């Protein structure tokens, strides 16, 4: 493997887009191979067009040239079983990602999110090659979400909006509307910047589960050439 990998593990197609697509775009631009793993095909939508969800997901991932994997667990029935944990573990072992993103655990927003977040946090936490594990904001019912990491995705907002817009079968969900996505990203920008920010910044918000750093990394916070 010539590039370092990022693996985003979420329950349904569209979860990665809503929670961290700007960050994935930024990681891609920074030279990572980006992989998105949807554990179900999202067929449980109210929409009659749910059968198109995998096609939509493909088009969405293509916006940033990400690799998309859709597993065949049943939407709404992603249970805390051995198969779920093994599936996540196998993809981790195959891709050996340095960065892993997944659902927040404990939000009580959707049973599949809880299962996917627990399995991924557990399995990534055991993998020695994983350097960073982040849990993303839930799209609904985020009142227990206490972020401590904010990523400036301003320059990747067009990609994020384009990707979410691929999900035509979801367009009845209010949180996939462009306005809702912009408001959300503006909200996190205000928290990240303590309200001082220019009106046109956009951020995504995360909870750090584990980060393992070389001090060189910290140069990114503003250091310059080594002395």
Determine, following the binding rule CB under 8 A, whether residue 4 of this chain makes contact with a second copy.
Answer: yes
Applying CB under 8 A, among 66, 116, 161, 209 the residue interacting with a second copy is 209
Between 48 and 214, CB nearer to a second copy: 214
Determine, following the binding rule CB under 8 A, whether residue 93 of this chain makes contact with a second copy.
Answer: no
- Judged by CB under 8 A, the chain residues 159 through 178 that form the site for a second copy are 173-175
Choose among 203, 205, 206, 220: nearest CA to 154: 203
What is the distance between the alpha carbons of residues 154 and 22, in angstroms, rounded to a whole number?
8
Applying CB under 8 A, among 108, 116, 178, 200 the residue interacting with a second copy is 108
| Encoded tokens for 123 | 């399995």
Between 54 and 201, CB nearer to a second copy: 201
Q: Give min distance, CB of 66 to a second copy, in A.
A: 13
Applying CB under 8 A, among 51, 58, 62, 79 the residue interacting with a second copy is 79
Taking each helix axis from N to C terminus, what angle separates 82-95 and 111-126, rounded to the nearest 10 degrees?
50
How deeply is 119 buried, as exposed, middle or buried, from its count of CB atoms within 10 A (0-12, 13-18, 19+)?
Answer: buried
- 167 phi, psi to nearest 5 deg: -85, 70
Q: Give min distance, CB of 112 to a second copy, in A.
A: 9
Residue with tokens 């990203």: 185
- Judged by CB under 8 A, the chain residues 14 through 53 that form the site for a second copy are 22-23, 25-32
What is the distance between the alpha carbons of residues 153 and 81, in angstroms, rounded to a whole number?
35
Determine, following the binding rule CB under 8 A, whether residue 153 of this chain makes contact with a second copy.
Answer: yes
What is the distance between the alpha carbons of residues 167 and 156, in angstroms, rounded to a whole number?
18
Between 70 and 130, CB nearer to a second copy: 130
- Judged by CB under 8 A, the chain residues 112 through 151 that form the site for a second copy are 118-119, 121-122, 125-128, 131-132, 140-144, 146-151
> How many residues would you count in the chain?
227
Instruction: Give yes or no for a contact between 188 and 153, defined as CB atoms under 8 angstroms apart.
Output: no
Per CB under 8 A, the segment of 11-19, 53-61, 82-90, 162-170 that binds a second copy is 82-90
Other CB atoms closer than 10 Å to residue 96's CB: what's the count?
Answer: 14
Between 55 and 109, CB nearer to a second copy: 109
């Amino acid at each position: 493997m010539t590039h370092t990998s990022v693996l985003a593990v979420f329950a349904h197609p569209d979860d990665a887009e809503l929670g961290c697509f700007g960050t994935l775009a930024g990681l891609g631009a920074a030279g990572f191979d980006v992989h998105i793993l949807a554990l179900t095909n999202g067929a449980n939508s109210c929409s009659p067009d749910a059968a198109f969800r995998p096609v939509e997901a493909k088009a969405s991932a293509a916006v940033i040239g990400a690799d998309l994997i859709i597993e065949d667990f049943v939407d709404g029935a992603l249970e805390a079983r051995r198969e779920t944990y093994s599936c996540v573990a196998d993809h981790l072992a195959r891709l050996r990602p340095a960065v892993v993103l997944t659902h927040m655990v404990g939000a009580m927003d959707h049973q599949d999110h809880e299962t996917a977040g627990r399995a991924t946090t557990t399995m990534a936490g055991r993998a020695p090659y994983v350097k960073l594990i982040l849990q993303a904001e839930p799209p609904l019912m985020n009142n227990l979400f206490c972020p401590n990491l904010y990523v400036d995705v301003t320059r990747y907002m067009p990609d994020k909006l384009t990707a979410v817009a691929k999900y035509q079968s979801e367009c009845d969900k209010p949180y996939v509307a462009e306005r809702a996505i912009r408001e959300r990203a503006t909200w996190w920008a205000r928290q990240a910047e303590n309200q001082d920010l220019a009106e046109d910044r956009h951020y995504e918000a995360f909870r750090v589960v584990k980060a393992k750093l070389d001090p060189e990394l910290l140069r990114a916070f503003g250091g310059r050439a080594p002395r």
